[in-house]
């Protein structure tokens, strides 16, 4: 799965579990050097003395686990994942760092006020690792709706995976047939599924859904579904079918990911 998206899932699902009274801890990926959180507002008196001037944003947490403590101390009521309305270019842009900037986490206080936490990734070329910064801004994104129900998503995901398996067969992309069949099998397997992408306190269905999407995620750069399959579809005269099926799969992926975190 897209690394930024996976981090958002892990961070927000752990936060939601903690806010609900559970315990969870975020393990930082090896390719990430640091994660910091900032909010917009006036610095404290001490910060003014140290820095000598006002700052537009001030740091509230120097790690994900520190941020969890910050949320609890602020009487946070709930945490959501918001991936926004899908636009056509997102399928290609999701392959790049900061490619889809509207993806964010939402934190809600008892009074209903929201902060949207937008991320910025930048790479330290000297150590070949990433620094991640989250900026909390007042938001009304809940007004435009986020997915908070998993009803029908398992069936819809199965249907979209079946569509892309059939398309892969029709354009003679046999390796992709096997790739998507493996994910579809995970979706309907009788064995319980435990994913390390979300907090262990989530229902089994959530684990099954996110693990299936993780296995089936095919969007990226070289070697991805965005690489040779479009040409194969064009050669077979199936350009429109390719567009329809690909967009349908991407849409259900984001719906499932959002619901996986928000339905708890």
Domain that holds residue 196: 153-262
- pLDDT surpasses 60 at 202: yes
| pLDDT at residue 222, rounded to an integer | 81
Q: Say how far apart CA 83 and CA 251 lie, in whole Å.
A: 10
The reply to whether 135 and 32 lie within a common domain is yes
| % of the chain residues with pLDDT over 90 | 67
Q: Say how far apart CA 86 and CA 263 lie, in whole Å.
A: 20
The reply to whether 186 and 233 lie within a common domain is yes
Measured torsion, CA atoms of residues 184, 185, 186, 188, in degrees rounded to the nearest 10: 90
Arithmetic mean of pLDDT, 199-211: 93
- What is the token pair recorded at 175? 């390796």
The reply to whether 34 and 102 lie within a common domain is yes
Q: What is the pLDDT of residues 94-147, one digit of tens each?
A: 777 788 889 999 999 988 899 999 999 999 999 999 999 999 999 987 766 777
The reply to whether 157 and 139 lie within a common domain is no
Domain stop point among 144, 179, 194: 144
At 93, the pLDDT band (50, 70, 90 cuts) reads confident
Q: Which residue has the higher pLDDT, 16 or 90?
A: 16
- pLDDT surpasses 60 at 24: yes
The reply to whether 28 and 158 lie within a common domain is no
The reply to whether 240 and 162 lie within a common domain is yes
| pLDDT at residue 177, rounded to an integer | 98
The reply to whether 132 and 8 lie within a common domain is yes
List of long-range contacts for 184-187, beta carbons under 8 Å, 24+ apart: 184/158, 184/212, 184/216, 186/211, 186/212, 186/215, 187/154, 187/157, 187/158, 187/161, 187/212
Can you give the CATH number for the domain in which 20 is found?
3.10.450
List of long-range contacts for 65-72, beta carbons under 8 Å, 24+ apart: 65/25, 65/26, 66/37, 67/11, 67/15, 67/35, 67/37, 67/134, 68/14, 68/15, 68/18, 68/24, 68/26, 70/37, 71/15, 71/18, 71/19, 71/107, 72/18, 72/19
Arithmetic mean of pLDDT, 152-167: 97
- What is the token pair recorded at 11? 């961070």
Q: Say how far apart CA 109 and CA 229 lie, in whole Å.
A: 46
| pLDDT at residue 43, rounded to an integer | 58
Which of the residue ranges 25-34, 47-56, 82-91, 194-203 would you say has the lowest mean pLDDT?
47-56
Which of the residue ranges 44-48, 78-82, 115-119 would you say has the lowest mean pLDDT?
44-48
Q: Which residue has the higher pLDDT, 23 or 84?
A: 84
Domain stop point among 126, 144, 162: 144
| pLDDT at residue 87, rounded to an integer | 81
| % of the chain residues with pLDDT over 70 | 94
| pLDDT at residue 90, rounded to an integer | 83
Using the structure block, give the residue that is written with the tokens 């390390």.
196
Q: What is the pLDDT of residues 209-251, one digit of tens each?
A: 999 999 999 998 888 999 999 999 999 999 999 999 999 999 9
Strand order in the sheet with 76-82: 57-61, 32-40, 129-139, 114-124, 104-109, 76-82
The reply to whether 107 and 24 lie within a common domain is yes
- Into how many domains does the chain fold? 2
| pLDDT at residue 147, rounded to an integer | 76
The reply to whether 140 and 9 lie within a common domain is yes
Kindly state the DSSP code that residue 195 receives in the 8-state scheme.
-
The reply to whether 15 and 89 lie within a common domain is yes
At 172, the pLDDT band (50, 70, 90 cuts) reads very high
Domain stop point among 124, 144, 164: 144
Which of 32-36, 86-90, 200-204: highest mean pLDDT?
32-36
| pLDDT at residue 144, rounded to an integer | 66
Give the start-end residues of each E strand in 46-183: 57-61, 76-82, 104-109, 114-124, 129-139
Strands 129-139 and 32-40: parallel
The reply to whether 114 and 171 lie within a common domain is no
- pLDDT surpasses 80 at 148: no
The reply to whether 113 and 158 lie within a common domain is no
- The residues with which 121 forms a beta bridge, in sequence order, are 132
């Amino acid at each position: 799965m897209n690394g930024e998206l996976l981090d958002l899932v892990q961070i927000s699902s752990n936060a939601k579990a903690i806010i609900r009274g559970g315990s969870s801890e975020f393990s930082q990926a090896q390719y990430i050097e640091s994660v910091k959180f900032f909010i917009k507002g006036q610095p404290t008196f001490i910060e003014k003395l140290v820095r000598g001037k006002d700052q537009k944003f001030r740091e509230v947490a120097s790690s994900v686990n520190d941020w969890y403590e910050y949320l609890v101390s602020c009487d946070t009521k709930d945490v959501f994942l918001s991936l926004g309305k899908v636009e056509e270019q997102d399928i290609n842009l999701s392959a790049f760092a900061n490619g889809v900037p509207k993806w964010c986490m939402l934190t809600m206080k008892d009074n209903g006020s929201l902060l949207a936490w937008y991320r910025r990734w930048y790479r330290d070329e000297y150590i070949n690792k990433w620094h991640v910064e989250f900026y909390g801004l007042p938001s009304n994104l809940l007004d435009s709706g986020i997915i908070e129900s998993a009803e029908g998503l398992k069936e819809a995901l199965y249907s979209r995976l079946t569509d892309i398996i059939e398309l892969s067969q029709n354009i003679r992309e046999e390796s992709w047939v096997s790739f998507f069949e493996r994910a579809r099998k995970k979706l309907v397997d009788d064995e319980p599924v435990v994913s390390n992408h979300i907090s262990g306190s989530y229902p089994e269905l959530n684990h099954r859904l996110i693990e299936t999407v993780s296995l089936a995620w095919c969007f990226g750069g070289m070697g991805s579904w965005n690489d040779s399959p479009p040409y194969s579809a064009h050669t077979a005269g199936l350009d429109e079918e390719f567009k329809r099926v690909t967009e349908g799969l991407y849409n259900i992926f984001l719906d499932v990911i959002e619901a996986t975190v928000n339905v708890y």
